[in-house]
Amino acid sequence: MQALALIAAAATWSAPQTVSAPHTFAAPLFAGTDQRGGVLASWGWQDEIGQNASTGAAHVRVTDGTVSSEQPAPDGLVAAQAYGDGRAVELANKQIDTRGRRWRLTVTDGNTRTLATAFILFRPQLSVAPDGSAIVAWVENHGNRHVVRAAMRSGPGAFSKPVTVVADGRTTLVSTAVSKRGDGLVAFVRNRRVLVRVRRPGGAWRRAALMSSARVKTTWQLTAAFDDDARAVLVWRRHRFSSAGRPGVTALSAATLAPAATRWSAAQSIEADGARNPALSSALPSGLVLSYINGPNSHATARVCESDARGRFGPPQDAASPQGGLRSLSLVDDSPAGLVVGWVIPNASGDGGGIGYAAAMPPGAASFGPREQVTPNEATFDVRLVRSAGQIRAFWTARPEGTGPSVPVSKIHTVVRTAVRSG
C-alpha cells in the first residue's frame, strides 16, 4: 500500500499543448477513446456575440500519442464518440430558422445523414458501443405533445428509420444507452415520472417501466449504460423542492435489468441527499463506475462507486477533500493508472474559470492518492479525461491570455488544450 501511495505521489502532467484556434467561446467539449487506443476530441465554438456571432465545430485525433491538426466538425455539435478502429460518430443539431422552432438533426460517420427536421427540444442524446452499434434519441415538440424519437444501428452500418418511443405527454429529459450486442435503452422523464424502455437485439421496444415518480415539484438527472454482459443500469438523481427557506432534497438511486430479464430490480439508494451530475463509465476489466458530485457547492467532493457482478454499486469513495465550486467531473479507468478522476475548481479571477485537478486510485489501492494539478491557472472551464496510447490524457477549454469583466469580448480567446499524465 505504501508503494502505491508513492507511485500516486510521483504522478505529474506534461506542459499544455494548444490544439485549437482561438474563439470567443469553446463548448461543449467531448473526448473519447476507440478500441485501438486512438482519441477523438471534439468541440463547438462561437466567435463574437449577438447578431454578429458565427458558430462552428472542430476536432482533433490522437494516434500513437501524436495530436493531429485541427479539422472541421459538424456545426451544431451536441455529442461525439469514438469507436472501432479509428472511427467516430458526431451528432449535430442546428437551428435552421430565425425563431428557434426548426432544427435539423444530423449524424456523421464518414457520411452525414439527416435524422430529423423538426422543433427539437433539449439536447439530443447519443450512445455508441465499441463496435459502432449506436442509438440517438431526441424530443420533438408537436403542439401539446412532446414526442420522443429514436434511431439505432447495429455495428457501423446505417441508422434505422426513426421510431416513436413516447407519443404524448410532456417529456423534459432523455438519456440513452446501447450494448455491444445491440440492446438499446431510452430513459425519459414524463409528467413527473422516470420511465425507461428497452429494445433487445432483433426485437421490438418493450413497454415503459416506471422507475420513480414525484407528486411535488421535482427536477431530475439521468444517466444510463450497459455493462460488458449487456446488463442495463439506470441512475437517476431526484431534486425534490421544499418550502421557502428549507433546502430541497437531492437523492441518488439506481436500478438494473439483467441481460435476459424482463423486470427491473428494486431501486438501490446510493445517496439520500446532496448528489448531482451523475455519470456512468466503463470499468476495467468489466463493470461500470458511477461518478458524481456530492455535497453543497461550498464544499463538494468528487465521488465514485464501482458496480459488482449484479450491477449493484459498492460504497462511495471520495477522490479528494471537499472543495468549493467543484464542477466538470470526468472519469477514466485505466489498467496501469487505475481510476483517475478529474474536475475543475473555479477561482475569483477566472470569470467562472479556474484550475483543473485530478486524483488516481491505483489498482489494489483502498483510496485515492494526492490531488494533482492538471492545468495551469488559466481560466479552465471544462476538462475531459481519456485513455491514450497507454497514458491518461486530459483535454480542457481555457483562456490562457486572461479573462474577466474588464476584457472586451473581441479580446476573449478560448482555446482547447491537452496534457498527458506520467508517473
In this structure, the strands spanning 268-271 and 249-257 are antiparallel
Mean pLDDT of the chain: 93
Whole-number Å distance between alpha carbons of 214 and 131: 38
Asked if residue 362 is part of any domain, the answer here is: yes
Q: Side by side, which strands form the sheet with 163-166?
A: 120-128, 134-142, 145-153, 163-166
Separation CA 410–CA 24 (nearest Å): 7
Which grid coordinates are listed for 233?
443500469
Residues above pLDDT 70, as percent of the chain? 95
Per-residue pLDDT tens for 156-210? 999 999 999 999 999 989 999 999 999 999 999 999 999 999 999 999 999 999 9
Burial of residue 394 (number of CB atoms within 10 Å: 0-12, 13-18, 19+): buried
Residue 8's H or E segment, with its range, is helix 2-9
Q: Which helix (H) or strand (E) holds 120?
A: strand 120-128
pLDDT in tens, 264-312: 999 999 999 999 999 999 988 889 999 999 999 999 999 999 999 899 9
Per residue in 91-105, pLDDT (tens digit) is: 999 999 988 899 999
Neighbours of 379 (CB within 10 A): 25
| 52 found inside a domain | yes
The Cα–Cα gap between 140 and 232 comes to: 26
User: How far, in Å, CA of 342 to CA of 145, rounded?
Assistant: 39
Residue 414 lies in a domain: yes
H or E element, residue 2: helix 2-9
> pLDDT above 90 covers what percent of the chain?
83
Q: For the segment 140-169, what is each residue's pLDDT rounded down to a tens digit?
A: 999 989 999 999 999 999 999 999 999 999
Q: Round to whole Å and give the CA distance between 74 and 56.
A: 7
Q: How many CB atoms lie within 10 A of CB 170?
A: 14
- The amino acid sitting at 254 is A
Amino acid at 364: G
Taking the mean position of all CA atoms in its chain, how far away is CA 310? 23
| Residue 419 pLDDT > 70 | yes
> Mean of the pLDDT values across residues 9-37?
93
| Residue pair 369/9 in contact by the 8 Å Cβ criterion | yes
**Residue 152 is assigned to a structural domain of this protein:** no
Q: Which domain holds residue 14?
A: 1-73+319-423
- The count of structural domains within the chain is 1
Of 309 and 224, the structure prediction assigns the larger pLDDT to 224
Residue 379 lies in a domain: yes
Query: Residue 133 has what pLDDT?
Result: 97
**CB 317, CB 367: distance < 8 Å:** yes
Q: How many residues does the chain have?
A: 423
Kindly state whether residue 233 falls inside one of the protein's structural domains: no
Neighbour-count burial for 249-272, b at 16+ CB within 10 Å, e otherwise:
ebbbbbbbbeeeeeebbeebebbe
> What predicted TM-score, i.e. pTM, was given to this entire model?
0.93
Question: Taking residues 309-334, what's their average pLDDT?
Answer: 95
- For residue 9, the surrounding DSSP H or E stretch is helix 2-9
pLDDT attached to residue 298? 92
